[in-house]
Homo-oligomer: A and B are copies of this chain.
Amino acid sequence: MLSVLSDEHFMKEAFKEAQKAFDEDEVPVGAIIVCDNKVIARAHNMTERLNDVTAHAEMLVFTSSTDYLGGKYLNECTLYVTLEPCVMCAGASYWTQLKKVVYGANDEKRGFRKHQENLLHPKTEIVSGIMQNECSEILKRFFDQKRG
């Protein structure tokens, strides 16, 4: 029997990655790539560990999923990410020709949607607000803790 798993199911997987980031003192954002109902890449933000501001969870899963698939495009894949992607990640997503992006929390300051023009590939479907509370809560907790 083919069972199609829900966006909530997969966002929970992305959220597990955000929790790992939190435990490692990284900004808690997690992402996974799903292809044919299967998780083919998972990562969390690693900007501190790698000392690299480009090491966002999305960039890491884009690179590892194309490596896994052997093709350069993700036009049959969905990105689940706990926070609205930034301009860099939206621009990267454009190049991957991503089929769909599903994100949790909004990022009013740095999210790609504050820009009026569509920065994603015109064929990329967008779903937002899945596990929004949990996804924003873990970020709030992280930054509250940082501020002491």
Q: How far is the CB of A19 from chain B (nearest CB, A)?
A: 23
Q: A54-B62, A88-B89, A91-B91 are in contact. List 8 more A-B contacts (CB 8 A).
A: A52-B62, A52-B63, A52-B67, A53-B95, A54-B59, A54-B92, A54-B95, A88-B88
Q: 5 tightest CB-CB pairs across the interface, nearest first?
A: A88-B91, A87-B91, A53-B95, A88-B92, A54-B92
Give the residues in chain B near A66, CB-CB below 8 Å: 51-53
Cβ-based interface call for A119 (8 A): yes
Q: Are B91 and A90 in contact (CB under 8 A)?
A: yes
Chain A residues within 8 Å of B, Cβ to Cβ: 47, 51-54, 59, 62-63, 66-67, 70-73, 86-92, 94-96, 115-117, 119
Q: Are A72 and B88 in contact (CB under 8 A)?
A: no
Indicate how many identical chains form the complex: 2
Give Cα A64 to B119, complex, Å: 26
Give Cα A119 to B119, complex, Å: 11
Question: Please, which residue of chain B has its CB at the minimum distance from the CB of A119?
Answer: B87
Contact of A117 among B73, B94, B116 (CB under 8 A): B116
Give the residues in chain B near A87, CB-CB below 8 Å: 87-88, 90-91, 94, 119
Give Cα A120 to B138, complex, Å: 28
Question: Please, which residue of chain B has its CB at the minimum distance from the CB of A110?
Answer: B94
